[in-house]
Amino acid sequence: MSTQYNVNDNQETAASQSATNEPVSNELIHEQMINSIYAGFGIRFWSFIIDLLIIFGIHSIILKPIYYLTKIDNIKLWIDYFSVGHMLDAVVFYLYFVLLTKYFKQTLGKMICNIRVEREDRKQLTWTDILFREWIGRIVCGIIFNLLYLVTIFTKKHKGIHDYFAGTVVIRNKFEKLFYLK
Residue type, 129: D
Q: How far is residue 146's CA from residue 128's CA, in Å, rounded to a whole number?
A: 22
Q: How far is residue 145's CA from residue 147's CA, in Å, rounded to a whole number?
A: 5
Count of helix runs (H) and strand runs (E) in the chain:
10, 2
Q: How far is residue 6's CA from residue 21's CA, in Å, rounded to a whole number?
A: 23
Residue type, 156: K
DSSP string, 164-180: HHHTEEEEEGGGHHHHH
Q: Please indicate whether residue 76 or residue 107 has the higher confidence score (pLDDT).
A: 107
Angle (CA) 37-38-42 rounded to 5° is: 125
pLDDT digits (tens, 9 = 90+) for 100-151: 999 999 999 999 999 999 999 999 999 999 999 999 999 998 888 888 899 9
Residue 77, φ and ψ in degrees, nearest 5: -85, -60
Does residue 7 register a pLDDT over 50?
A: no
pTM exceeding 0.95: no
Q: Please indicate whether residue 177 or residue 1 has the higher confidence score (pLDDT).
A: 177
